[in-house]
Chain A
Amino acid sequence: ETGVTQSPTHLIKTRGQQVTLRCSSQSGHNTVSWYQQALGQGPQFIFQYYREEENGRGNFPPRFSGLQFPNYSSELNVNALELDDSALYLCASSPTGLAGGRRETQYFGPGTRLLVL
């Protein structure tokens, strides 16, 4: 049990729609990262937030965006959904961010499985 929760657990959307996925980090963890895991693949880094600011981004288009809130919750928003967005979306929290925190262990939530039809 990592103390990281995500909602919803499953979601079905159609192409072109927008979706918001939610994550609640462990208390005191001020860094949250989001990953996309396609079927049969390893997770791919989407972006990271530290103290409510984006702290780096992977190779994902701008229609993937996020927010982090002071209460250790965060959101991943995806606009104009495409079929290839179907995947398991994982959030991970860690206790520190920029200063000396780069090797901190990341603790994952159970994920949200998104299906785009």
Chain B
Amino acid sequence: GNSVTQMEGPVTLSEEAFLTINCTYTATGYPSLFWYVQYPGEGLQLLLKATKADDKGSNKGFEATYRKETTSFHLEKGSVQVSDSAVYFCALINSGGSNYKLTFGKGTLLTVNP
């Protein structure tokens, strides 16, 4: 079956620090990969996505590269801001068979201090 493993949090950084949140996946076929962000008390917002190997998704200074050889999709940002404090979820949708649901990791809580 499909699964997503994220680094456990919480992650606490100072403003302007470099961020990496690790994500690895297990899936048959060729999944699409996503990062969603959830701010306190809100639903999920799509942050970025990549649909095939070596694709790089980017948005709002965040980046992640689809690495098929290491089955990874690590999230990075060069300089975090206080407003980036949120829970980040890595997820996949599989492209084959009858898999049409998002499979999520458990989420990583990021807190950025001024």
Contact A107 B102 (CB under 8 A): no
Q: Decide if B12 is an interface residue (CB 8 Å cutoff).
A: no
User: Which of chain A's residues has its CB closest to B102's CB?
Assistant: A106
**B93 CB, nearest partner CB in chain A, Å:** 5
Q: Which residues of B contact A98 (CB under 8 A)?
A: 100
Instruction: Give the number of residue pairs across the A-B interface with Cβ within 8 Å.
Output: 66
Q: How large is the interface on B (under 10, 10 to 19, 20 to 34, 35 or more residues)?
A: 20 to 34
Q: Could you tell me how many residues of chain A have their Cβ less than 8 Å away from some Cβ of chain B?
A: 30
Judged by DSSP, the binding face of A is: loop
Residues on A facing B (Cβ under 8 Å): 2, 6, 33, 35, 40-45, 48, 55-56, 58, 88, 90, 92, 97-98, 101-111
Residues on B facing A (Cβ under 8 Å): 4, 31-32, 34, 36, 42-46, 49, 51, 89, 91, 93-95, 98-107
22 A-B contacts (beta carbon < 8 Å): A41-B107, A42-B107, A43-B44, A43-B89, A43-B102, A48-B101, A56-B100, A98-B100, A101-B100, A102-B94, A102-B95, A102-B99, A103-B93, A105-B34, A105-B46, A108-B36, A108-B45, A108-B46, A110-B42, A110-B43, A111-B42, A111-B43
